[in-house]
């Protein structure tokens, strides 16, 4: 697969960078849009493919989903490039209601977008303690498998104020990407990311959490580096740095714990994952 970063600004869009949105091009030809934050649809339009994407959400904070109603408009009404078939939407259990309200004409209405998208909820364990064995993941015994075409996806519960997930995306050949979404530190991150080729991990708090940040919310660069090292991933990409954040500090923090390749996510960057 390859991943093009449509936007990666943390918590809100920035002047030159939409908020969270990642386009995955899979080996079977499908395209999966992972999060749809503000500004992401315009970037997707520049690549020419909004009508043909499946959609997966880590969670439904506005910086991860607020361009979704516009994606619905494209897939439903574009005169020549509307969705030719129903695509898959995988997200939190509240997706149909929450996103349907965002697309509706009136506060009391819920837009039923099942004409264009087949909506499914992530299945993830509610476990206080994360498993540690990759085999548990690959056999689907701890993190149940989801399928979009030939792609296999797993979700683990994130620590965040709304229903949130970390996501593992795997090709048939085993090449794999793990996305932290938004989360505070949890053992599920290293468990889900075990052996992954790429860990795309948030580090909203910069180098380290100075103790003045809200609890149960985000990671620091140090915590991203710790998770990458524990999971033994091949490459770490730091993302979700807010416009007022400290990207260099996040890199410094990550490198303190992880000695593999680390870099910052950038809008427009394309990453090849696996063969
Ligand atoms: Zn966010
Ligand atoms: Zn969030």
Q: List the domains of the chain with CATH numbers.
A: 2-272 (3.60.15.10)
Q: Which of 113, 136, 110 is nearest to 125 (CA)?
A: 136
Which ligand is closest in space to the CA of residue 161?
A: 2
| Ligand 1 mean position, distance from CA 61 (Å) | 6
- Distance, in Å, from the CA atom of 272 to the CA atom of 255, rounded to the nearest integer, reads 22
Residues paired with 241 in a beta bridge: 9
Q: Does residue 199 contact residue 178 with C-beta atoms inside 8 Å?
A: yes
| Ligand 2 mean position, distance from CA 59 (Å) | 7
Tens digits of pLDDT across the chain (275 residues): 999 999 999 999 999 999 999 999 999 999 999 999 999 999 999 998 899 999 999 999 999 999 999 999 999 999 999 999 999 999 999 999 999 999 999 999 999 999 999 999 998 877 666 766 666 666 667 888 999 999 999 999 999 999 999 999 999 999 999 999 999 999 999 999 999 999 999 999 999 998 899 999 999 999 999 999 999 999 999 999 999 999 999 999 999 999 999 999 999 999 999 87
Q: What is the largest CA-CA distance in the chain?
A: 52
| Ligand 2 mean position, distance from CA 81 (Å) | 31
Q: Which of 213, 212, 235 is nearest to 224 (CA)?
A: 235
Q: Does residue 150 contact residue 175 with C-beta atoms inside 8 Å?
A: no
| Ligand 1 mean position, distance from CA 79 (Å) | 33
- Distance, in Å, from the CA atom of 128 to the CA atom of 125, rounded to the nearest integer, reads 9
| Ligand 1 mean position, distance from CA 201 (Å) | 11
Which ligand is closest in space to the CA of residue 162?
A: 2
Which ligand is closest in space to the CA of residue 10?
A: 1
| Ligand 1 mean position, distance from CA 181 (Å) | 7
Which ligand is closest in space to the CA of residue 245?
A: 1
- Distance, in Å, from the CA atom of 96 to the CA atom of 207, rounded to the nearest integer, reads 37
| Ligand 1 mean position, distance from CA 84 (Å) | 31
- Distance, in Å, from the CA atom of 69 to the CA atom of 59, rounded to the nearest integer, reads 15
Q: Which of 164, 217, 195 is nearest to 274 (CA)?
A: 195
- Distance, in Å, from the CA atom of 24 to the CA atom of 177, rounded to the nearest integer, reads 10
| Ligand 2 mean position, distance from CA 80 (Å) | 34
Q: Which of 261, 141, 108, 109 is nearest to 197 (CA)?
A: 261
- Distance, in Å, from the CA atom of 81 to the CA atom of 188, rounded to the nearest integer, reads 39
């Amino acid at each position: 697969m390859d991943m093009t970063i449509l936007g990666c600004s943390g918590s809100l869009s920035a002047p030159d960078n939409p908020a969270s949105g990642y386009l995955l091009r899979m080996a079977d030809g499908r395209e999966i849009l992972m999060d749809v934050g503000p500004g992401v649809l315009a970037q997707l339009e520049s690549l020419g493919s909004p009508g043909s994407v499946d959609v997966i959400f880590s969670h439904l904070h506005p910086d991860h989903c607020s361009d979704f109603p516009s994606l619905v408009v494209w897939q439903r009404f574009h005169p020549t490039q509307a969705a030719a078939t129903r695509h898959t939407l995988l997200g939190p259990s509240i997706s149909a209601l929450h996103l349907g309200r965002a697309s509706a004409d009136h506060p009391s209405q819920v837009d039923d977008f099942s004409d264009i998208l087949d909506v499914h909820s992530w299945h993830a364990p509610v476990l206080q303690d994360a498993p540690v064995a990759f085999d548990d993941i690959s056999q689907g015994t701890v993190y149940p498998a989801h399928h979009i075409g030939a792609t296999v996806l797993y979700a683990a519960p994130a620590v965040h104020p709304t229903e949130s997930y970390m996501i593992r995306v795997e090709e048939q050949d085993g090449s794999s990407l793990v996305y932290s979404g938004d989360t505070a530190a949890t053992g599920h991150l290293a468990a889900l990311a075990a052996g992954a080729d790429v860990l795309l991990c948030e580090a909203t708090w910069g180098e380290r959490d100075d103790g003045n940040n809200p609890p149960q919310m985000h990671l620091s660069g140090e915590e991203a580096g710790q998770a990458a090292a524990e999971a033994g991933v091949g490459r770490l990409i730091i993302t979700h740095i807010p416009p007022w954040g400290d990207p260099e500090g996040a890199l410094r923090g990550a490198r303190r714990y992880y000695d593999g390749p680390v870099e910052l996510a950038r809008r427009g960057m394309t990453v090849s994952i696996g063969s």
